[in-house]
C-alpha cells in the first residue's frame, strides 16, 4: 500500500484531496497540520462521516507546525512516504500585507522544512508543491499565463508562494528531489471558510442581502477568475501522480533549471457578477448587488487572474463537469449544511 503525506490536511482544499484519495485509491493518508484559523478538524470529521470504519483507519492526523523542522523523533513516527503533497500555507492577501514576516515563515521557512524532510525519504516517488496563480500577477485581458511565464508578485502572499516554488525547484536541481509544481486559482466547494466569496454570496442571497461585487475604479468591470471546484483540483493532483511515465515523455522545455510545472484551471472564466448571478439563480432569487472599486484602492488585489490549462489537457486531464453543475451542487449542499455559512 502506498503512503501519502498531505500538509495542511485540515484545510479547505486538502481535506477535499483526502476525500478524493479515499474514494479513488487504497493509499494510507497522513495529514500534517498545525490547526490554525484555516485548518479545522471539523472539516475532516464531517467529511470522514461518509466513509466506512475500514476507510477511516487509512487516515491519520498528526499535529505539527512546519515553521519548526521535523525532528528525528517525528521523522521516526511519521515513517516514509511514496508521495508528499505540500498544501499547507497562509493564503489571505490582506493578512500578508499586514504581517509579511508571518507569511515568510509560513510559506517559505515551512516549505524548506518539509522539503528537507522529503529529501530524507528514500522511497519518495513525487513531491507536489501546491502553488497559486497569483505568482504571475494581474493578467491583462486576453492573456492567460502559461507555466513558464515570468512571475510578477503584487503582494507578500504571492511573493512568498513564489519563494516556496523556487526552493522546490532548487531541491529538484540540487538534491534530485522529484518535484512537480501546480498552480491553481480560486478554488470553491463544500466546507469553504465563510469569509470567501462563494459561501458569503450564498448566505447573502439566502438572506436577501446585497452582494458586494469587486470592480475597477469605474465600477463597471467586475474582477474575474477561472473558478475551479475543489474535487477537480484533487483529481488533477491524483492524475499527475498516476501518470508520471506519460509526463516523463513530454518535451522538456524548462527554460533553465528543471522542474515540471502544471496549471490546474477551471472550465471557464467568470467575472464575479456572473458568478453571483449563477448563485442567485440556483436559489431561484433575484440578485441584489453593489459594484465597489476594490482594486485601485487596495494594494495587492488584482482585477483579473488567468491561467492557461492547455498543458494538462495535452496530457489528458481537464475538469469533467461543468461549472454551472458544480455551482448548483455547492449551493444546494451549503444550504442544507448551513453550519458552514
- Nearest in space to 91 (alpha carbons), one of 27, 16, 8, 173: 8
Residues in a beta bridge with 304: 224
Given 28, 33, 147, 157, the catalytic residue: 157
Asked if 341 and 334 count as a contact pair (C-beta separation under 8 A), the reply is: yes
Given 28, 133, 172, 269, the catalytic residue: 133
Asked if 190 and 333 count as a contact pair (C-beta separation under 8 A), the reply is: yes
| Alpha carbon distance 275, 264 (integer Å) | 19
CB atoms within 10 A of CB 151: 16
| Alpha carbon distance 262, 240 (integer Å) | 9
DSSP, collapsed to helix, strand or coil, labels residue 131 as strand
User: Which helix (H) or strand (E) segment is 340 a member of?
Assistant: none
Positive/negative CA dihedral, 28, 33, 37, 42: positive
Examine the residue annotation and report whether 157 is marked as an active-site residue of this protein.
Answer: yes
Examine the residue annotation and report whether 65 is marked as an active-site residue of this protein.
Answer: no
Given 28, 33, 106, 134, the catalytic residue: 134
Q: Which residue in this structure is represented by grid cell 463537469? A: 321
Examine the residue annotation and report whether 72 is marked as an active-site residue of this protein.
Answer: no
Q: Please give the positions annotated as active site.
A: 133-134, 157
Amino acid at each position: 500500500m502506498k503512503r501519502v503525506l498531505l500538509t495542511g490536511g485540515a484545510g479547505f482544499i486538502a481535506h477535499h484531496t483526502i476525500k478524493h484519495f479515499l474514494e479513488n485509491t487504497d493509499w494510507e493518508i497522513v495529514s500534517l497540520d498545525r490547526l490554525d484559523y484555516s485548518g479545522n478538524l471539523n472539516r475532516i470529521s464531517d467529511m470522514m462521516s461518509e466513509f466506512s470504519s475500514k476507510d477511516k483507519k487509512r487516515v491519520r492526523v498528526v499535529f505539527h507546525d512546519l515553521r519548526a523542522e521535523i525532528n528525528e523523533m517525528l521523522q521516526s513516527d511519521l515513517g516514509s512516504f511514496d508521495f508528499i503533497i505540500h498544501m499547507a500555507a497562509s493564503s489571505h492577501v490582506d493578512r500578508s500585507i499586514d504581517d509579511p514576516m508571518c507569511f515568510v515563515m509560513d510559506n517559505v521557512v515551512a516549505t524548506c522544512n518539509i522539503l528537507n524532510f522529503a529529501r530524507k525519504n528514500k522511497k519518495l516517488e513525487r513531491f507536489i508543491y501546491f502553488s497559486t496563480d497569483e505568482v504571475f500577477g494581474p493578467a491583462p485581458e486576453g492573456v492567460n499565463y502559461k507555466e513558464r511565464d515570468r512571475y510578477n508578485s503584487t503582494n507578500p502572499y504571492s511573493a512568498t508562494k513564489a519563494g516556496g516554488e523556487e526552493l522546490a525547484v532548487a531541491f529538484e536541481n540540487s538534491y534530485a528531489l522529484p518535484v512537480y509544481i501546480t498552480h491553481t486559482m480560486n478554488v470553491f466547494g463544500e466546507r469553504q471558510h465563510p469569509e470567501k466569496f462563494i459561501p458569503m454570496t450564498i448566505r447573502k442571497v439566502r438572506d436577501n442581502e446585497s452582494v458586494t461585487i469587486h470592480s475597477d475604479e469605474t465600477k463597471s468591470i467586475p474582477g474575474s477568475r477561472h473558478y475551479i471546484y475543489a474535487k477537480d483540483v484533487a483529481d488533477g493532483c491524483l492524475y499527475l501522480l498516476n501518470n508520471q511515465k506519460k509526463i516523463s515523455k513530454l518535451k522538456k522545455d524548462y527554460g533553465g533549471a528543471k522542474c515540471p510545472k502544471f496549471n490546474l484551471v477551471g472550465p471557464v472564466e467568470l467575472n464575479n457578477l456572473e458568478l453571483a448571478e449563477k448563485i442567485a439563480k440556483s436559489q431561484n432569487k433575484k440578485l441584489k448587488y453593489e459594484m465597489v472599486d476594490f482594486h485601485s484602492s487596495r494594494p495587492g488585489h488584482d482585477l483579473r487572474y488567468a491561467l492557461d490549462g492547455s498543458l494538462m489537457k495535452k496530457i489528458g486531464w481537464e475538469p469533467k463537469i461543468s461549472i454551472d453543475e458544480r455551482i448548483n451542487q455547492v449551493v444546494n449542499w451549503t444550504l442544507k449544511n448551513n453550519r458552514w455559512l
